[in-house]
A and B are shown apart, each in its own frame.
Chain A
């Protein structure tokens, strides 16, 4: 047997063990990326092999949590893909505005930047006080950060550019207070967002949503879990509601695909058909 094959077996055993003990099933995730991150984690760890690491990982929750932090990707940014937010502003919001009140679900929100960006956008488009957002993630560490709404000040220049490219015309600096090396997002943005844990692999739907965003989350999932998520989003969305995916994710060849029309084609904003 080649070394790589032994490692394959070790990884499989480890992932099964983690699932049984902690209920986190990394076997639902696309293997190539997970393997890459696991190898990096191992190289940085004190262990020579996954078998050696396994003993501690299965017994010590702290060790497990540091593994999870090491192998999950939570990168996000304010107004990520500005063209997407511009299209939401110009093409989806006019529909949302016809409702007295709208509900929005950010699935896999990481540290919350996407939800905060959307709150800024909706306020600017005259929807202040007429929306509520549910922003969920499997990872409680990032959710806690999301609730704090504190960003590194060094990023604000980039985020300001994103904001402007997304069609924002106010002064972005009005949305945060600078304190040393941090930017604290204004409390007014937080009040309409509920951050909560939710695991897309096991937990249920959120009812009666006007918009669901799940961007750059499902690209890491195996096809079966992707299908599960899409079913979940479909049953959460009202007819006429919007489903927003990452720029390289599509509903093509998906079971729920036929019930959706792509509103703004390259930007993955889909609208659920009526009836």
Chain B
């Protein structure tokens, strides 16, 4: 039976801009899920990446602000130098806590907090990167019953991050970047309800 998902989280590092363009570019305007993204980025990077990606895809891409409501069909990027987290009330929060897995924003932080809120209705995706941030996070997504997708390391600009994720947990799909958007459309075909306000997102 098809399950209905409520959110997608994506973690990416080296080669991330190209990878995100390829993944997000083909997603249609009525893609029903919110997409939360941690791209490793220097502390002084500014907000250019959100603007750049916004121009390459139909979905709205924005840098996450504290207390943003998580809306379907919107892509939220973690700001430079802050961790991005999901709160139980379905809003986003930011933190300037120390680096996790040598990164801030850290993929692990986003994935773990999203897993606690969305449980089995979460899709976690680890893409190209030259470190192992995201592997604990993807493990947590799986532990909460969510779906794990990893970019095929063979075609990744940097293999270490996808490989580490695959070593850490049993992954549901290993796919090329080219096939990623199609897979997401299959997993989330129509409009579904927005994440619930208050309380856990699953029961």
What is A's interface to B at a CB cutoff of 8 Å? 2, 4-5, 30-33, 35-37, 73, 75, 216, 219-220, 223, 246, 248-250
State whether A73 touches B96 (Cβ < 8 A).
Answer: yes
- Which of A220, A223, A250 interacts with B95 by CB under 8 Å? A220
Q: Name the residue of chain B whose CB is nearest to the CB of A215.
A: B96
* Stretch from B6-14, B15-23, B80-88, B166-174 that touches the partner: B80-88
Determine, out of B29-37, B108-116, B152-160, the stretch whose residues face the partner at the interface.
B108-116
Query: Would you call the interface of chain A mostly helix, strand, loop, or mixed?
Result: helix
Q: Are B109's CB and A219's CB within 8 A?
A: no
Per CB-CB distance, the 3 closest pairs between chain A and chain B, nearest first, are A32-B85, A32-B113, A30-B93
B98 at the interface (CB under 8 A from A): yes
17 residue pairs A–B, Cβ–Cβ below 8 Å: A4-B116, A4-B144, A30-B87, A31-B87, A32-B116, A32-B117, A35-B116, A36-B97, A73-B96, A73-B97, A73-B98, A75-B97, A219-B66, A219-B96, A248-B79, A248-B82, A248-B94
A11 to chain B, nearest CB (A): 11
How many contacts between A and B, using CB within 8 angstroms? 56
Q: Is the CB of B97 within 8 A of A33?
A: yes
Smallest CB–CB gap between A72 and chain B, Å?
A: 10
The answer to whether A37 touches B93 (Cβ under 8 A) is no
Whether B97 pairs with A37 at a CB distance below 8 angstroms is yes
Distance of A99 from chain B, by nearest CB (Å): 32
Which residue of B66, B117, B144 has the most chain A CB atoms within 10 A of its CB atom? B66
CB contacts (< 8 Å) of A2 on chain B: these are 119
* Closest Cβ neighbor of B86 among chain A residues: A32
Query: B96 near A246 (CB under 8 angstroms)?
Result: yes
B93 proximity list for chain A (CB < 8 A): 30, 32-33, 219
- Whether B60 is near chain A, meaning CB under 8 Å from some CB there, is no
Q: Which residues of A contact B117 (CB under 8 A)?
A: 32
| Besides A219-B66, A219-B93, 4 new A-B residue pairs in contact (Cβ under 8 A), listed by A number | A32-B88, A73-B98, A220-B95, A248-B94
